[in-house]
């Protein structure tokens, strides 16, 4: 069967090649589509990723949508499903409690990223515990389930942190209008909040379709827009991450979902960190990966958003190409790109 593989650490080593079909116990899945994100791009550039033990190459792809190939383990042939990404390190409290998203050692593995083959291949075998059912009504839009699960975890943690004291969040800011930014805005809108999305682009029809206000940071100073009860940073800019703390209202919470791995130094005003943050009970925190329950609530949220904000999710999946056109998907920056291996009804 065909798979998209890379040699981790080697730039431009991505290629479609024949690999062995999986065998053994588990739920056999036919992969329909995989989403591509910045992590895949970094892996293909040789900056990230680790091959499975004893292997030279890694099958990439961690944003999956698949169809069950045969009955068993509580699933029926034809069911649409997604598979979660991270697996237990096997020796920490959090992983022991089924929360590898909170792994305390960093020794976890991740499909398509770290020491586990990914989903950009025709067939995969998965343990039933790591499979999330997808409603028929959501269909191929469920390829957004993985990035949505990241946002669901971030928002869940923000609301949990905020709720440590009496607090009702009403206004939210999301910086960055990529998939993670827009899906975060979607979740905050579903929570009933007034949401502002800020990014470099001139406009965002998707943000507007989600009922959010959109502002371009080229023409608008974020400092004039606050204060906000929740800020989600999804642009991956360290300075914006620190700036988030200064945009918060009393008891506000700023959640960092983007990654900025560049060398540099971000700055913050003494008054914001030394006084306002203390006197106004503000919090800045980071969030990565997702718990199984974030997948389940994320899938529910996507299906609600599909009805509540017609056309927005369809527009977010901006490029769908077959597996062998992966280079186009990696080079694309106008929304979520996906690699299509099979159609849901094929
Ligand atoms: Zn991703
Ligand atoms: Zn662990």
CATH of the domain at 229: 3.40.50.720
Tell me: do 61 and 166 sit in the same domain: no
Q: Which ligand has the minimum distance to the alpha carbon of residue 103?
A: 2
Ligand 1 centroid vs 285 CA: distance in angstroms? 20
110 in a structural domain = yes
Ligand 2 midpoint to CA 98 (Å): 9
Residues 123 and 192 in one domain: no
Give the pairing of strands 27-36 and 63-68.
Answer: antiparallel
Measure 250 CA to ligand 1 centroid, in angstroms: 33
- Whether residue 114 is found in the same domain as residue 158: no
Residues 18 and 129 in one domain: yes
Examine the domain organization and report whether 235 and 161 are in the same domain: yes
As a three-state string, the secondary structure of 102-165 is: HCCCCCCEEECCEEECCCCECEEEECHHHEEECCCCCHHHHHHHHHHHHHHHHHHHHHHHHCCC
- What percentage of the chain has pLDDT greater than the value 70? 100
The answer to whether residue 158 is domain-embedded is yes
Distance 40 CA to ligand 1 centre (A): 7
For residue 64, give the ligand nearest its CA: 1
User: How many structural domains are present in the chain?
Assistant: 2
Q: What is the mean pLDDT of residues 97-120?
A: 98
Q: pTM for the full model?
A: 0.97
CATH (domain of 69): 3.90.180.10
Contact 298, 145 (CB under 8 A): yes
Identify the band that residue 346 occupies on the pLDDT scale cut at 50, 70 and 90: low
**Is residue 291 assigned to a domain?**
no
Q: Assess whether 158 and 280 both reside in one domain.
A: yes
Determine, yes or no, domain membership for 345. Answer: no
Q: What is the pLDDT of residues 115-140, one digit of tens each?
A: 999 999 999 999 999 999 999 999 99
Residue range of the domain that includes 14: 2-133+311-340
Q: d(Cα 179, Cα 190) in Å, to the nearest integer?
A: 16
| Mean pLDDT to the nearest integer, 253-258 | 98
236 with 115, same domain: the answer is no
* Separation between Cα atoms, residue 280 and residue 205, nearest integer Å: 35
Domain assignment present for 155: yes
């Amino acid at each position: 069967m065909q798979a998209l593989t890379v040699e981790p650490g080697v730039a431009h080593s991505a290629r479609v090649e024949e690999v062995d079909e999986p065998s053994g116990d588990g739920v056999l899945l036919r992969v329909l589509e995989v989403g591509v994100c910045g992590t895949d791009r970094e892996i293909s550039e040789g900056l990230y990723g680790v091959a499975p033990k004893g292997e030279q190459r890694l099958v990439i792809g961690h944003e999956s949508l698949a169809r069950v190939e045969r009955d068993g383990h509580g699933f029926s042939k034809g069911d649409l499903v997604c598979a979660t990404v991270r697996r237990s390190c096997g020796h920490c409290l959090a992983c022991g409690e089924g929360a590898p998203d909170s792994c305390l050692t960093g020794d976890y593995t991740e499909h398509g990223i770290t020491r586990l083959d990914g989903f950009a291949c025709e067939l995969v075998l998965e343990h039933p515990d790591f499979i999330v059912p997808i409603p028929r009504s959501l269909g191929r839009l469920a390829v957004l389930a993985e990035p949505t699960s990241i946002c669901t975890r971030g928002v869940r943690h923000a609301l949990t942190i905020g709720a440590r004291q009496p607090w009702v969040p009403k206004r939210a800011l999301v910086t960055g209008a990529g998939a993670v930014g827009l899906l975060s805005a979607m979740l905050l809108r579903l929570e009933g909040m007034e949401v502002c999305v800020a990014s470099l682009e001139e406009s965002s029809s998707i943000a507007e379709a989600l009922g959010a206000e959109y502002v371009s940071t080229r023409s608008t100073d974020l400092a004039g827009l606050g204060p906000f009860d929740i800020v989600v940073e999804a642009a991956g800019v360290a300075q914006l991450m620190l700036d988030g703390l200064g945009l918060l209202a009393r008891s506000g919470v700023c959640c960092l979902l983007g990654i900025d791995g560049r060398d540099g130094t971000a700055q913050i005003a003494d008054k914001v960190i030394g006084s306002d943050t203390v006197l106004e009970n503000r919090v800045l925190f980071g969030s990565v990966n997702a718990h199984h329950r974030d997948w389940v609530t994320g899938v529910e949220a996507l299906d609600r958003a599909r009805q509540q904000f017609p056309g927005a999710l369809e527009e977010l999946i901006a490029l769908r190409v077959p597996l062998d056109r992966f280079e186009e998907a990696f080079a694309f920056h106008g929304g979520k790109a996906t690699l299509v291996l099979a159609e849901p009804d094929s």
